């Protein structure tokens, strides 16, 4: 049976460290602040945004949640971002995705000052991650790296397979694993012999957005399986991209959904907000 990697527990440990750091920063006169913009009423996004606000409160970071109506124009959103770029008490800005269809996501990301881009989505920050000279960590991939390393698992020289090539998870995840000296393969919807490739993985990170996609026959015995998926079943229950029951019989380590990667993403966002506040106060 696989050992469970407890994301809730690891996340709580890191948040304790962050709360201590916030205290120390405030003593130095640095006050980190995060602005989160949500446009429209996507219920999942509303939950994520609420959780981001709560997490800030828990560690002592000032936060503002800015809820804008679905019919907000791109110009109005860009004007709001421009205002937040200028405000001293806001160290980090996050625009919750997805945005309504009439708003161009790339233009919005480009409008956020790279110094305040705590999601690390802007071209400058993505470039820095690629080079291995990051300022902000990509939140979900960085959370995955923490789960692995804090479980005492070494990455160097391992075969890592990432399923999914999104800008938010798959691509930056591959970069972080590569920087940690893994041999990295990225799989996607057009990959041939996907199961065979997966079976070569010592570390398998799954971010494809399909419930129960990875089954036990695709996993090497003893492998580390990290499930980034968040899918809603017909009964409303949250489930990952990995068939948890089957794969736990084969894997060495596995993350549950919920309670695996999810809590780590917000924790890494808090870390980035501190980084931003420090840089802006130099």
User: Which spans of this chain sit near ligand GUN (rule: CB under 6 A)?
Assistant: 94-97, 119, 139-140, 168, 265
Nearer to ligand GUN, 60 or 209 (CB): 209
CA-based nearest residue to 254, from 44, 67, 5: 5
CB of 65 vs ligand GUN, minimal distance in Å: 13
Annotation marks residue 116 as catalytic? no
Annotation marks residue 96 as catalytic? yes
Catalytic choice (52, 80, 171, 220):
52
Query: Which tokens sit at 57?
Result: 């409160």
Nearer to ligand GUN, 206 or 219 (CB): 206
Nearer to ligand GUN, 2 or 261 (CB): 261
CB of 154 vs ligand GUN, minimal distance in Å: 27
Nearer to ligand GUN, 119 or 202 (CB): 119
Q: Is 270 helix (H, G, I), strand (E, B) or coil?
A: helix
What CA–CA distance (Å, rounded) separates 248 from 216? 8
Task: Considering only the C-alpha atoms of the chain, give the largest distance between any 2 of them, rounded to a whole number of Å.
Answer: 56
CB 203 within 8 A of CB 156: no
Sheet containing 62-68: order of strands = 62-68, 33-39, 92-95
CB of 119 vs ligand GUN, minimal distance in Å: 5
Query: Which tokens sit at 22?
Result: 């916030």
CB 36 within 8 A of CB 81: no
Annotation marks residue 117 as catalytic? no
What CA–CA distance (Å, rounded) separates 61 from 54? 10
Catalytic choice (6, 115, 117, 119):
119
CB of 90 vs ligand GUN, minimal distance in Å: 15
Q: Would you name the residues annotated as active-site residues?
A: 52, 96, 119
């Amino acid at each position: 049976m696989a050992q469970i990697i407890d994301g809730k527990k690891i996340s709580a440990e890191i948040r304790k460290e962050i709360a201590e750091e916030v205290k120390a920063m405030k003593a130095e006169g640095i006050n980190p602040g995060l602005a989160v913009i949500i446009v429209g009423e996507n219920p999942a996004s509303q939950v994520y945004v609420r959780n981001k606000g709560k997490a800030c409160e828990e560690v002592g970071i000032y936060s503002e949640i800015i809820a804008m109506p679905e019919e907000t124009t791109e110009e109005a959103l860009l004007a709001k971002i421009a205002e937040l770029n200028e405000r001293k008490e806001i160290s980090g800005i996050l625009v919750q995705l997805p945005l309504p269809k009439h708003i161009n996501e790339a233009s919005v990301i480009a409008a956020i000052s790279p110094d305040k881009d705590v999601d690390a989505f802007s071209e400058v920050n993505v470039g820095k991650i690629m080079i291995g000279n990051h300022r902000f960590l990509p939140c979900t991939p960085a959370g995955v790296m923490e789960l692995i390393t804090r479980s005492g698992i070494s990455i160097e020289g391992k075969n890592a397979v990432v399923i999914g090539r999104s800008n938010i998870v798959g691509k930056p995840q591959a970069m972080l694993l590569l920087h940690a000296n893994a041999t990295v393969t990225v799989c996607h919807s057009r990959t041939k012999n996907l199961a065979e490739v997966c079976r070569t993985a010592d570390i398998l990170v799954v971010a494809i957005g399909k419930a129960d996609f990875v089954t036990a026959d695709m996993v090497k015995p003893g492998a580390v399986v990290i499930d980034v998926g968040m899918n809603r079943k017909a009964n409303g229950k949250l489930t990952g991209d990995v068939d948890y029951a089957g794969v736990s019989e084969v894997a060495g380590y596995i993350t549950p959904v919920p309670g695996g990667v999810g809590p780590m993403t917000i924790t890494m966002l808090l870390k980035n907000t501190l980084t931003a506040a420090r840089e802006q106060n130099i």
